Structures are given as structure tokens and as C-alpha cells.
Amino acid sequence: MNDTTPTIPAPARTQAAPRQPVTKAGPLRHAITRHINTLQNDYLTDRPHAVQALARLRRGVGRQATEMPDLWGLVGVEQFHAAWLAERQLPAGETQTLRAEQAAHIAVTLWAVHQQSNRTRRMHVADGPSLGSAVRRLMAGTDADEAIRKRLVRAGAATTLDVMSQRLRDLVVLLRTAEVPLDYGLLAEQLAHWQQPGGPARIRQAWGRSFHAYRAPARPAPQDSTDTATPSESTENNTKEHE
């Protein structure tokens, strides 16, 4: 039987950057970054309102933004409108607003799952790992690597936002367990672009590129025991040299 599992696209032969709409930091990315940073700071210091907000946000994972009026004011949409107006000098149109609402809802609720019960490390890092590189960090050269890779492939192959949200949640749970952070401002921006004509292919390509480009930090070389004489040994050797 032929394997019909879609593959992560290989990196392009040239070093050209992805198309501008995928990488440009626009109003939505700025808004979600600021919004999550504020909530995250308060959550890490155990502020009651932030703890309650994250619990409410987690209940919104996998559900339509329009189904969750309880989350109005919690996903950063107000900040998006302010950022859009400041940058473009005119209000966001209906299409831009709808895309931003959907993307913000998915990104912020996923971050709430990612940050759950972690009061010591920030799971949202501005200008931090993108989805592809974060998932690649989970792969440690074990038999589990292929299953992890296929989860990213399935997320990239999603054909609706509902399916995308569920598959991203599966990845976020893995990232939470390993305490691997993610840039949720970037994710929100990518999810908004995903809703544009041709967007799914461009975002899938961006995730694939970051997956392939990731390189684990070099481990420090083990120190040669012959070069680490103790102070007493050094003193003894010097004494013998002068006898």
C-alpha cells in the first residue's frame, strides 16, 4: 500500500527569504506579543486575575471564537485594532478583523495550554522559535522522532481552522511537557495569513523551512582530565621540578 502521508516541504535551493506576508511583523503580531507578555508576567507572579484568565482561555481551545463570548477582552483583539489604527491610520476592514479574531483566538488559547502550571519559564518568547523549529527541538534522535514529525505534517495539511487548532493543540502539549517555548505572536500572524488565498501553502512552506533549518546548539566538548590538575597536584609538581 502506498504511503499517502504528506511531507514537510524541503527547503528551497536558493537562500531567498519567504514571501513578505509570512514573515513581516504586522499589527496582529505586535498586538498578540504585547497582550501575552502582559498576561504571562502576571501569571508568573501568581496574580489571581491572570490565573483565572488562563483557566478561561484554556476552555476555548478548539472552539470557534464566536462561540466563546466569555473570552471577549482576553485574546488581544482590542490591541490588534489599536495597533492596526496606529500603523495604517484607518480602521481594520471586516475581512482583516475576522481573520485577526480567528488567529488571535487560536494563538492565545494555545498559549494558555502551553503555559499551564508553569510559573518559572516563559512559554511565549517574542522573536523566539517558530512552530517548525520548536517541533524540531523535540526530536532527540529516538524512535519517537517520526511520530513527532508526522504531527507537524498533519498540522500543515489541515484544511480548516478547526482541524488546524486541534492538531496544533497536540503539538503544544508536547512542547509544554518538554518546556520548549514558541513565538505566539508569529503564530497568530501566520494563522491570519493562512486564511488568505494561497495562505496554507505559504505557511506550510514557512513551517517546513524553519523545521529543516533548525540546528541544535553545539554541546561543550568534554574537558580532558589530563588538563585539570587539582591545586594540590600542581603544587606537588612544581615542588618536584625545583628539587
Residue 62 pLDDT: 87
Q: What's the pTM?
A: 0.80
Residue 11 pLDDT: 42
Residue 8 pLDDT: 53
Residue 222 pLDDT: 63
Length of the chain: 243
Is the CB of residue 151 less than 8 Å from the CB of residue 167?
A: yes
Residue 136 pLDDT: 96
Q: Which three cell numbers stand for residue 127?
A: 522573536
Is the CB of residue 60 less than 8 Å from the CB of residue 105?
A: yes
Handedness of CA 60, 66, 72, 73 (dihedral sign): positive
- Indicate the burial class of 194 (C-beta count within 10 angstroms; 0-12, 13-18, 19 or more): buried
Residue 18 pLDDT: 38
Determine the distance from the C-alpha atom of residue 209 to the mean position of all C-alpha atoms in its chain, rounded to a whole number.
Answer: 14
Per CATH, the number for 20-213 is 1.10.520.40
- Low-confidence stretches of the chain (pLDDT < 50) are 1, 5, 9-22, 229, 234, 240-241
